[in-house]
Amino acid sequence: MRKRLERLVSRTLCFFVVGMFVTLTAGFQSVAVADPVPTPDPGITDKTIVVIPNHAKYKVVGVPGTHKAPFGSGDGCPLQSTVKSFWPVSTVITLKKGFTLPPGAHNLRVQLSIDNDAEIFINGTSIGVVTHGFCPLVDEFLIISPDPLLLVGPNVLKVVATDLGGESFIDLRVLVDLP
């Protein structure tokens, strides 16, 4: 059984609420692990991040308490200059964010910039897979969540991103319509 180590990081997530922007800051869990990605263990509270390149030995690296998006590494693509948190190439990273929706919230959209691949989940259900091979563009991909997956109250967004080498990059925003 593979060891599971996670780290709690912070990330700003923007929601578009008809006519206004609401910016929420809350904890993101960030995991960089070799495939397959383990199921997160909510009981882990240590402040570490696991950086495991493909086919490498496990190595735990201590990091500061918060990270800001976007995540990435390299300097060959225009969006790389916006990177705020390091994401090593040839690794998998999982971003997990809890958020609360009021009654009547609908039409949740995830706009995503990624190099290379990502799978997006709402409340544990996959809502889309994105495969991309070159420099990412701002909001290049749009994934729409089926309304029945949205819950009144607490919800969880999870993104599992895979970098295949060269450069890495991920950034996203979530938009939702309110009544």
Pick from 51, 36, 32, 50: which is nearest to 1 by CA? 36
Residue 177 identity (one-letter amino acid):
D
Nearest of 66, 40, 15 to residue 172 by alpha carbon = 15
DSSP code, position 38: P
Domain ranges of the chain: 7-177
Q: Are 50 and 32 in contact (CB under 8 A)?
A: yes
Read off the pTM: 0.63
Q: 7-177 adopts what CATH topology?
A: Jelly Rolls (2.60.120)
Give the pLDDT confidence score for residue 28 in this predicted structure. Answer: 43
Question: 42-82: per-residue pLDDT in tens?
Answer: 554 544 444 444 444 333 444 434 566 776 788 788 887 88
13 versus 140: which is more confidently predicted?
Answer: 140
Mean pLDDT is lowest, of 53-57, 70-74, 134-138, 171-175, for 53-57
Mean pLDDT of the chain: 69
> From CA 114, how far away is CA 162, in angstroms rounded?
9
